[in-house]
Structure 1
Amino acid sequence: MKDVYALHSIVDDAHFPFDPAAYSCFKFGDGAVAEAFGTALATGFIATYGDRLSENEQLVVLPSPYTTIPTASYHMTTAFVKMLNRYLCMRGYNPADTAKIHRYKTYSIDYGALDMESRKALIINDKYHLDKEFLAGKTLIFTDDIRITGSHELIIRNLLKKFGLSNDAYYLYYAQLQNQDIHPNIENKLNYYSVHSLQSLEAVIGSSSFRFNTRVVKFILNAPFAEYEKLLMKQTHGFLQELADCCIGNNYHQMEEYRNNANFLFDHLQKKIPSWQSICKKEKEPISNYQNSLLA
């Protein structure tokens, strides 16, 4: 059994069955929206499939693949699992486990702007890993925020075949594109509907519910330097350190598109935070300095 379920269907590129502004904020780290989306997805899934779940069935929920920095859908999935497990608990069932699809490649190209063939060409060389022994015999629930062409779903289906897993599985989405006459770059329209510059991003990252994800990290690191520096000046040391750790975790500091902004961030942290000085400063060498920096 392989069932696909989407809470919302997109059939019109001008009118959406959900708030596109909220969706855009979600994609850029709004944790409150992620919580709302995950809760709504769980409610819809339970209403549709709850009666099919068995007390002897062990569920495992897997969000969309990521390397080190989670995706926006990861935070949505966290809320989904909470709601699902409440349902299972109230019926005496075992709570769902969670697992990760390990991804060993990342890229700077904006996936949402591509057509179907370009998406396939981009991800065809990606490498993924599943814990076969842990997943064996369990019912799998794969979650993602949106299904446009089904390329990532196809990757997962092929991955299951590669690892010899014939598990029952659900593929769940907050929304799915149903009208194939609409270009796949509708995803980009939704992604940038309300967040399209660092200035428009500030309200999201200033919220107490903000959560880092791959999209927001790449967006910040790829911004024009003047705008990037201005944004950094307004942030706490905690925010800057988490941004730097995300950058390091996905190896963005070694990618050409992000290298200069990443190095500027590292340099600033070395100058401002003692722990970074002790880790990064080479013996008998001065800490690197950026001339004309407003942060100096």
Structure 2
Amino acid sequence: MFRAVLIEKDDAGYRASVKALDESTLPEGDVSVRVAYSSLNYKDGLAITGRGAVVRKFPMVPGIDLVGTVEASSHPGVAVGDAVILNGWGLSEVHWGGLAQRAQVRGEWLVPLPEAFTPRQAMAIGTAGYTAMLCVMALERHGVTPERGEVLVTGASGGVGSVAIALLAKLGFTVVASTGRPQEADYLKSLGASEIIDRNELGLPGKPLGKERWAGVIDAVGSHTLANACATTKYRGTVAACGLAQGLDFPASVAPFILRGVTLVGIDCVMAPREDRLEAWRRLARDLDVSKLELMTREIGLDEVIDTATALLDGKERGRIVVNVDR
């Protein structure tokens, strides 16, 4: 038996609870993992509360992240005793995820835990931090350097935003953080932000083109915020879009793209190829200040996950939430 958060949907409705499950209920997979930690992300919050159509198969164990030790494997690239990380690959959607003490997964989904990180630190990074690194890598590929000017990070108090600020600051960028929580200004500056702006400067309907300011943008918000970020990005700047906290819509014009040569890069963390994942984790091990990581992280147990998921969606949480599945 093992403990897990379980989402069910039937005639009684949509609900999430912590249950003891038999290992025979685990889904198919060629690797069995004893989970040490998971994390709580925005997507997990949507799945657990039912506020978003994330789960496509019931019952479902949510949790898009996990780190743990391989207990059994028939996959040629994965051995018993390996310390491994899993991010994405349909966890919480069509395959049981990491908010449990056990997981049965496909070996090709796993990447090694970098020696630079403890299991807890790996989940403090989690999908949010791995996504932030993919965004930074995208900006770099398109020629965004510290010398070109400021980089905007939206949704700055969240998981992606917090890690993105820490990464960019260590790499020498001047970071401007956009947030709806002005009380978090000191926190964001401690991560490396040089300036804090109110999210309403970008979150309301704007013009097709605004004054050029940003050399690059990492956006976890979408909707009007993403549209206005593109409209105020400098000539040949780059915007990396990875989230939808404000909405799925994109009420923009083509003006920034055809008049200023702005590049909009979509960042997919769920199905990213293995080589991209390995590179992102290698870069995180090199470029993330783990002391900053601790500033943005708090730990909870499985029994706290459901209430915390609601608080996360309501904007009452900041940074990263690590879940100790044995608590």
TM-score by length of 2: 0.29
* Structure ranking higher in strand proportion: 2
Question: Whose Rg is larger?
Answer: 1
Taking CA–CA contacts closer than 8 Å with sequence separation of 6 or more, which of the two structures ends up with the larger relative contact order? Answer: 1
* Structure ranking higher in helix proportion: 1
